Amino acid sequence: METIILGLWLWISAHMIPVVAPDMRARLVARLGEMPYKGLFALVVLASVGLMVLGWRSINTVTPLYDIYNIVAFPALAMILAGFVLMAAAKVKCNFQRVIRHPQLTGFSLWAIAHMLMNGDLHAVVLFGGLAAWSISTIFLLNKRDGAFIPPAKQLPHKGVIAAAIGFVIFIALVMGHEYFSGIDLTVKRH
């Protein structure tokens, strides 16, 4: 569990610096340069993900807190799909961004909450609950920092379709490869 918590702490720390300490980020960029800063940021994020995955896969004792998988499995998968569509929409200029100010963080929140609902054990609640708390709090902090939301210019409708298609492809790829990086085979029926 300590490895999961360390990875979570690294993830949150790296992502919160630009949000709550933009002066610190500016000093780091001034000292290192923009690209080296981004490289360092990427290394810290990769290390944090590695620690979270390593910690997850090393859990020997599962401490169940709740079991609602059979109730939430389908809605949670729909939340994960919607999350990937929104994360893709953050990178494709489309009309999703006119409605949702922070599509990447909103999508990430959906992904994390869905995983927390489907996996009712202690390490899942710590990991996915921590990631959900980070992403939701970041949305609020960014909204407070940036002031009133001014929607971007309207985009052609097909760009939203492109974002949805990208999100769908990523969703399918991750469902199919889920066992390889998480150790959990999604094709095996639970209970």
**Full pLDDT tens readout for the chain, 191 residues:** 999 999 999 999 999 999 999 999 999 999 999 999 999 999 999 999 999 999 998 988 888 899 898 899 899 999 999 999 999 999 999 989 999 999 999 999 999 999 999 999 999 999 999 999 999 999 999 999 999 999 989 999 899 999 999 999 999 999 888 888 777 777 665 65
- Percent of the residues in the chain that have a pLDDT greater than 70, as a whole number: 97
Distance CA 1, CA 11 (A): 15
Contact status, residue 139 vs residue 105, Cβ threshold 8 Å: yes
For residue 39, the SS3 value is: helix
Distance CA 169, CA 80 (A): 12
Check residue 101 and report its DSSP letter: S
Q: What angle, 0 to 180 degrees and rounded to 10, lies between the N-to-C axes of helices 69-89 and 103-118?
A: 160
- Cα 40–Cα 13–Cα 65 angle in degrees, nearest 5: 130
For residue 62, the SS3 value is: coil
Query: What is the reported pLDDT for 34?
Result: 94
Provide the sign of the torsion angle of the four alpha carbons 21, 145, 136, 133, taken in this order: positive
Written as six digits, the tokens of 187 are 């094709």
Query: What is the reported pLDDT for 111?
Result: 98
